[in-house]
Amino acid sequence: MSEQLRFDGKVVIITGAGNGLGRQHALMFAARGARVVVNDLGGGAHGGGKSSASADAVVEEIRRSGGEAVANHDSVEDGPSIVQTAIDAFGTVDIVVNNAGILRDVSFQKMSRDDWDLIMKVHVNGAFSVTHAAWPYLRDKGYGRIIFTTSGAGIYGNFGQANYSAAKLALLGLANTLTLEGRNRNILVNTIAPIAASRLTETVMPAELLAVLKPDYISPLVGWLCHEQCTETGGLFEVGAGYMAKLRWERTRGHTFGQGLKWDVEQVAAKWPKVIDFDDAEHPQSVNDTVSAIMTALNARSYGGNEFLDLDVAYAAE
Ligand code: NAI
């Protein structure tokens, strides 16, 4: 059997760790030697209320099993106090798992400003606040692992979740840039899109499905991505029911109208099949890959006489 991948000496902050996925992450890290800050506001699934009970129960469970953990009951919007809990109890922070979340599902037509703002506050501002407060510690020590928790609703959209979708995909944007800013300080950043039974999904999924979507099926991926042996960064992973897979962007080869030439709506319509043709697609990985595609278009030469000349044809004829 392979050697157990452990987190001895590592300090982990897990937000929203009083229930569901966060609780499982906390139990997994603690069982492998990490010292864990169990953060949870203890409110309802739609954002109301506050209670210390759920975070305290998880801390108690970890301690009973011989692990080390402390509770923090602040909202993720108050990241500095959550990080301070880690510093006060354990002197540092190595790993941040941004997991806390709520839902305010309602069709866009009926969505209130409050429904929008609350979801942004908890998911986007919360993940920002905790990660931003931890960042200087990770930079100074030249070590860090960060997880963001997005959702299929963000990646693909989902009826009734305009607020949640927008917030969840904002986290991927944040992760993408922190990947770049953290890389040379050995701060590695990854994003998961889980599917699991929890109080967030119990009302929208049938019982048979919930029974096989155990939240503890998500934590092993989080553990690996946060382990010092794992060099993955900037990844986006779908995970659930034992399945885990990496996603990436895909771009068609597209069509380039030559510089100095004229093209209009009709020429776009004529070239549309090529613009959307994913045969022989590319997989851009950085903003440079966008810039280079645009530079290719800028460098495309004008061919005299034919103002709607197709450059592919022109190059082929050279
Ligand atoms: P859950 O409701 O069981 O756990 C979320 C925890 O976050 C709760 O304990 C809650 O008290 C805590 N929390 C909420 N607002 C907070 C705040 N302002 N500050 C601190 N803690 C707060 O839900 P679940 O399913 O475990 O969700 C965990 C994460 O996974 C969420 O970010 C959710 O959006 C995401 N997710 C879950 C999916 C699923 O299938 N369960 C699907 C896609 C994403």
182 CB within 6 A, ligand 1: no
| H/E stretch holding 95 | strand 95-98
Residue 253 lies in a domain: no
Distances (CA, A) of 26 to 127, 168, 203, 238, 264: 17, 22, 24, 20, 57
Mutate to test the pocket of ligand 1, among 169, 200, 218, 247 (most ligand atoms within 8 A of CB): 200
Order of strands across the sheet that contains 144-149 = 68-72, 35-39, 11-14, 95-98, 144-149, 187-194, 235-240, 243-247
- Quote the ipTM score: 0.99
Whether 254 is covered by a domain: the verdict is no
Average pLDDT over residues 106-124: 98
Q: How far is the centre of ligand 1, averaged over its atoms, from the C-alpha of 138 (Å)?
A: 24
The yes-or-no verdict on residue 273 having pLDDT over 80 is yes
One domain, residues 240 and 301: no
pLDDT of residue 299: 74
Identify the CATH number of the domain in which residue 163 sits: 3.40.50.720
pTM over 0.90: yes
Domains held by the chain: number: 2
pLDDT tens, residue by residue, 48-76: 889 999 999 999 999 999 999 999 999 99
Is the Cβ–Cβ distance between 71 and 55 less than 8 Å?
Answer: yes
Q: Which of 199, 216, 247 is the last residue of a domain?
A: 247
Task: Note whether residue 48 is domain-resident.
Answer: yes
User: Which residue in the list 137, 156, 164, 303 is annotated as catalytic?
Assistant: 164
Q: Residue 21 CA: which ligand 1 atom is closest? A: 26
**In this predicted model, what pLDDT tens digit does every residue of 175-214 receive, in sequence order?**
999 999 999 999 999 999 999 999 888 888 889 999 999 9
- Whether residue 255 lies inside any domain: the answer is no
Residue 53 structural domain: 11-247
The pLDDT tens digits of the residues spanning 209-255 come to 999 999 999 999 999 999 999 999 999 999 999 999 999 999 999 99
